[in-house]
């Protein structure tokens, strides 16, 4: 291997990598030692509880400082709601669309502040949030409730306070996914999406929140693996110099850190390939490239970047600017004092969060301004949580909406398939006969229509039916008009408790949807 250690160290500063499991493994340790990788991304599989996470972050910093002489960015996707990596003993705030349903941007600031304080207390210094995508396509399989809404002004109104809350906690924020992932019907984790919009169309919708965030001083922006053929017909945004440098740097005036989404995603891996993708992303204008999972791919990528640097394929002046940009952000944020770990999952944070969560519940259809009484034989139905998108956590959660609700409120639980067939719907409906009320939890039912067919079939029975959307509220759009409906935005125990309080009449559901659900 050619090259001086100083160049290798610079390559390592421009990379972020990850590993499996709750402890540093030998492959990752070797990667850091050989290639001086200076930054780490964590996922749900890296976290078991708050004490373990704090110890892991200490181990990461010890290793990276020993090998590079500088502290590491330790990043995580703690957006809240559907995309939360922290364990249950930490505070998990509601997601973006739920926060917007409260109607108060101060709640977005509170969510950012709580999240940032707890991350910093545990040793995580970089939150890959807020999502700046405008969810203008309700068939979007990857954004949905991760977006604040379907209009750019809604996203701006809530994303910027979230950013400020993170910043005031001492945690770096990162707006994503530039120039916008909201109008796709393809998950870039699985394939390469295309958004065929003109620059004027992009400026009026997708780019507006990013421009507002740039002007508000957001420290980092993440690129998307999406082709915008009217801007650059040949390349996804992550690999497009026209988009990252021409548009984001020069036209929009962003001077902060540009980082890529993971280059192991199939949108890149199955086209130019991860290794070449890291080189192309740097040439396009990215400062920090992510190879989030595979140590061997990260090592090959580091070697390819080093060769490109030594051969003159990478602009030396831009290279130096990126290295300095990373160093400046580390000097600023990573030296800020961390809160005491006792703040993580504290009673004060939990109370504030439960109050916030209660404000997110959104009635979509509520005849007579109330939900029906459950009676003495309620029937709860719904599918288990599943991995709706690759950005979600692995679907190994034993939590079940119908089982949880029946144990809490009494009655019968029916665990249904994620997309029940006509025969399964008929059998479930027969078993529901005689119930005094029926409550069905849906989970991405607008993309798995068997769930909605089940709700409508149950609505033909004598008992009142309540549908609760436990991810995207679009599920509630095509239900029979005699079905009561409620958007809860997340499949978690804390959301189930809040729903139970509403169904029992203990609390009111006061949220207002930030996306169009009913048009009549």
User: Can you read off the two tokens belonging to residue 290?
Assistant: 């992510």
The DSSP H or E segment spanning 121 is helix 105-122
Torsion angle of the four alpha carbons 401, 404, 408, 411, in this order, in degrees rounded to the nearest 10: 70
Residue found under tokens 């992932």: 181
DSSP for residue 431: H
Task: List all residues 6 or more positions away from 317 whose beta carbon is below 8 Å from its beta carbon.
Answer: none
CA distances from 372 to 364, 367, 376 (A): 14, 9, 12
Residue found under tokens 């436990």: 470
Q: Which candidate in 77, 232, 261, 475 is catalytic?
A: 261
Q: Nearest-CA neighbor of 151 among 135, 131, 163?
A: 135
Angle, CA of 266, 270 and 271, to the nearest 5°: 115
Q: Nearest-CA neighbor of 293 among 257, 268, 326?
A: 268
Q: What are phi and psi of 194, to 5 degrees?
A: -130, 130
397 counts as catalytic: no
CB-CB contact of 196 with 229 (8 Å):
yes
User: Can you read off the two tokens belonging to residue 22?
Assistant: 């709750």
Rounded distance between C-alpha atoms, residue 409 and residue 389, angstroms: 31
Q: Which candidate in 177, 189, 225, 293 is catalytic?
A: 189
Other beta carbons within 10 Å of 347:
7
User: Can you read off the two tokens belonging to residue 61?
Assistant: 């910093």
CB-CB contact of 73 with 12 (8 Å):
no
CB-CB contact of 339 with 349 (8 Å):
no
CB-CB contact of 112 with 169 (8 Å):
yes
CB-CB contact of 297 with 15 (8 Å):
no
**Residue 429 C-beta-side C-alpha neighbours within 13 Å:** 19
Rounded distance between C-alpha atoms, residue 518 and residue 209, angstroms: 25
189 counts as catalytic: yes
Cis preceding-peptide flag for 39 (omega within 30 of 0)? no
CB-CB contact of 487 with 511 (8 Å):
yes
Catalytic residues: 189, 261
């Amino acid at each position: 291997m050619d090259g001086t250690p100083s160049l290798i160290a610079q390559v390592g500063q421009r990379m972020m990598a990850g590993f499996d499991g709750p402890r540093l493994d030998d492959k990752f340790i070797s990667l850091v030692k050989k290639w001086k990788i200076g930054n780490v991304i964590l996922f749900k599989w890296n976290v078991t509880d708050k004490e373990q996470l704090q110890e892991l972050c200490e181990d990461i910093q010890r290793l990276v400082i020993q090998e590079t002489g500088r502290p590491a960015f330790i990043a995580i996707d703690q957006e809240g709601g559907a995309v939360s990596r922290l364990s249950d003993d930490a505070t998990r705030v509601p997601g973006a669309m739920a926060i917007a349903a409260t109607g108060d941007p101060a709640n977005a600031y509170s969510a950012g502040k709580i999240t940032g304080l707890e991350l910093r207390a545990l040793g995580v210094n970089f939150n890959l949030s807020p999502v700046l995508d405008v969810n203008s396509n309700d068939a979007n399989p990857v954004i949905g409730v991760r977006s604040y809404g379907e209009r750019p002004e809604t996203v701006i109104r809530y994303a910027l306070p979230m950013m400020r809350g993170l910043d005031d906690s001492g945690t770096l924020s990162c707006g994503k996914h530039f120039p916008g992932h909201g109008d796709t019907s393809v998950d870039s984790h699985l394939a390469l999406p295309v958004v065929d919009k003109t620059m004027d169309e992009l400026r009026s919708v997708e780019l507006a929140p990013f421009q507002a965030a740039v002007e508000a001083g957001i420290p980092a922006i993440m690129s998307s693996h999406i082709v915008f053929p009217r801007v650059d017909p040949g390349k996804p945004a992550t690999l497009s110099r026209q988009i990252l440098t021409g548009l984001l740097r020069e036209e929009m005036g962003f001077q902060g850190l540009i980082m890529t989404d993971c280059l192991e995603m199939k949108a890149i891996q199955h086209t130019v390939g991860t290794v070449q993708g890291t080189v192309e992303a740097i040439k396009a204008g990215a400062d920090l490239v992510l190879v989030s999972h595979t140590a061997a791919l990260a090592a090959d990528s580091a070697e390819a970047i080093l060769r490109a640097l030594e051969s003159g394929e990478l602009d030396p002046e831009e290279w130096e600017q990126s290295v300095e940009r990373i160093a400046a952000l580390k000097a600023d944020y990573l030296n800020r004092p961390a809160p005491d770990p006792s703040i993580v999952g504290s009673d004060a944070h939990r109370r504030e969060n439960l109050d916030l969560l209660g404000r997110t519940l959104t009635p979509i259809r509520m005849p007579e301004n109330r939900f029906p009484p459950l009676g003495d034989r309620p029937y709860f139905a719904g599918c288990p949580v599943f991995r709706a998108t690759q950005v979600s956590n692995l679907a190994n959660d034993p939590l079940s909406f119908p089982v949880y609700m029946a144990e809490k409120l009494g009655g019968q639980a029916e665990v249904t398939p994620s997309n029940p067939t006509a025969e399964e719907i008929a059998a479930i409906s027969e078993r529901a006969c005689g119930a005094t009320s029926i409550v069905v939890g849906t989970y991405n039912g607008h993309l798995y229509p068997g769930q909605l067919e089940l709700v409508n079939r149950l609505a033909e029975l004598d008992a009142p039916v309540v549908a609760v959307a436990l991810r995207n509220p679009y599920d509630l759009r095509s239900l029979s008009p005699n079905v009561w409906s409620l958007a809860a935005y997340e499949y978690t125990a804390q959301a189930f408790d809040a729903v139970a309080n509403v169904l029992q009449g203990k609390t009111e559901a006061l949220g207002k949807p930030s996306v169009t659900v009913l048009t009549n």
